[in-house]
Chain A
């Protein structure tokens, strides 16, 4: 059989090369080391040297270069090989926005403000455990459940918050049963979460939580000395109680049904290693290096517990390093904010974290029913109300329909104001897809929910965290660890 020389009958490779390219929309920022980081609508990122960046934006990037291929594959440029980057970018953006279109999925019931703990950084006024006037009534709970099922969202998360929620456990049972009864016809994917300090939990309560597949969210601020100082309880160690009851919850509900939340106070700043070690000692595989919130009642204790944004960023970096090293030593542990970031860098999914949504997820994705029937657009919004500021109150459970709440002038104004594309400073930021607006934080710290990003501690903190993680991803060993955190 006659063979055809490879050079015959085929066009040369050069004839397939694109004749030119057009940059697609993207934002960029010059990093401290002189390189440029680029971010676009599809949620992709690229880091270019100064030379590469200027060649690219001037239309002079060689089509045969690896940089060209990388930018093409990440929807930063399009050429005459087809419009697939445009369609791919649209598909990724639509995937990310899908969560927003489902509307509210997280419903928080503040079943009581009563509490048996006197945390230094508490965001809600601590009512003594015997003042029943700070409990949600059954009538309020029933009206709130009605609102829950007016949401079109196929996945509903019911979260019980306090005060100490277990002090009003009868209402938790009542709401749970009501939701499950309604869900026989509504057929939603319902998940229950109870936030508790786990100072006390009875066997009967554990049995109920197990029967209804509850998730338990508790607090763990670190080793006993730190936890007990932050979360004092008269007559006992809150750390010992939490540790003992975390073990009981695990035994009753399963290991993956209990998570712990860390609040970083000034006393935590020099103890990142001890805090991570404590989480490992107690068998946790996730830790959230969460800054203290300057909301509501907590604002009064800032002098004792607060710290600068720079101090927090330094703590975050040290803590993250310790977590990565813990993983390298063979114990899996993820940092929650970093894992969320990685999910958004490497996939087009939107996990629905309310404080990092564009536009703001407050109200759209989350709704809070306070003990007195007030409806708030976020938990932080109701915390402000405990200090007498009702800015983020949308209405009352007995007087509003779900449509009233979602189409209220206040919520639509907030949504309108918090689209990052139209927020000065955010409008040109490459990190839009990793960030959010957080109107309550900006209102609490700057007096306006739209905020001023030039002086925003939220922006400074987010930018520092994102740039630190992007840098870690350039180290193969660190990246190998971080990639295991992708959900």
Chain B
């Protein structure tokens, strides 16, 4: 099965991320040509065949692009949360392992 993706709508990283979960059942080949990516899906031996692979992949593309947009938009808040989290550990007693065998 082949499907074509317009590179003006989805960049290559989004296409590759969307492909990931399909690699459990398919071997996927990506070819670029002009403004298009052509994806070929070949079912692996003994794998589960998705009935509407093109439709499922299109949904995965849309969800991946939302995911990537949100990841970018929420990065400052993520960094604030992580900084705030790590600050909890700055003034707590150091948990560094003691040197030597059996030191208390």
Contact = CB atoms under 8 A, between A and B. Distances in A.
Kindly name the residue among A87, A90, A146 whose own CB sees the greatest number of chain B CB atoms within 10 A. Answer: A90
B79 to A, nearest CB: 9
B100 A86 contact: no
Contacts of B4: none
A467 to B, nearest CB: 15
Given A25-B74, A25-B81, A403-B98, A425 B89 contact: no
A101 interface: yes
B63 interface: yes
Given A90-B84, A454-B21, A28 B67 contact: yes
Given A41-B81, A93-B81, A401-B101, A23 B70 contact: yes
A90 B98 contact: no
Kindly name the residue among B85, B98, B103 whose own CB sees the greatest number of chain A CB atoms within 10 A. Answer: B85
Interface string B68-87: 00110111011011101100
A57 B59 CA distance: 16
A23 to B, nearest CB: 6
Given A147-B101, A150-B102, A185-B104, A86 B77 contact: yes
B14 to A, nearest CB: 12
A97 B85 contact: yes
A149 B104 contact: yes
A389 to B, nearest CB: 26
B2 interface: no
A152 B97 contact: yes
Interface string B45-76: 00000000000000100010011001101110
B98 A428 contact: no
A265 interface: no
A17 interface: no
A189 B95 CA distance: 16
A28 B103 CA distance: 46
Contacts of B95: 101-103, 152
A26 B70 contact: yes
B81 A150 contact: no
B102 A147 contact: yes
Given A22-B77, A186-B104, A152 B96 contact: yes
**Chain B interface size range:** 35 or more
B20 A86 contact: no
Nearest to B63: A30
A150 B100 contact: yes
A425 B20 CA distance: 7
A87 B88 CA distance: 11
A86 B99 contact: no
A150 B97 contact: yes
B92 interface: yes
Nearest to B92: A101
B24 interface: yes
A182 B103 CA distance: 11
B58 to A, nearest CB: 13
Contacts of A402: 97-98, 101
Contacts of A407: 97
Contact of A150 (B70, B75, B101): B101
Contacts of B103: 149-150
B23 interface: yes
A150 B77 contact: no
Nearest to A78: B77
Nearest to A97: B85
Contacts of B63: 28, 30
A95 to B, nearest CB: 9
B96 A428 contact: no
Nearest to B24: A454
Interface in A13-34: 22-28, 30
Closest 9 CB pairs of A and B: A146-B102, A90-B84, A94-B88, A25-B74, A25-B78, A454-B24, A90-B85, A93-B85, A403-B97
Interface of B: 17, 20-24, 59, 63, 66-67, 70-71, 73-75, 77-78, 80-82, 84-85, 88-89, 92, 94-104
Interface of A: 22-28, 30, 41, 57, 78, 86-87, 89-91, 93-94, 97-98, 101-103, 143, 145-147, 149-152, 182, 185-186, 400-403, 406-407, 424-425, 428, 454-455
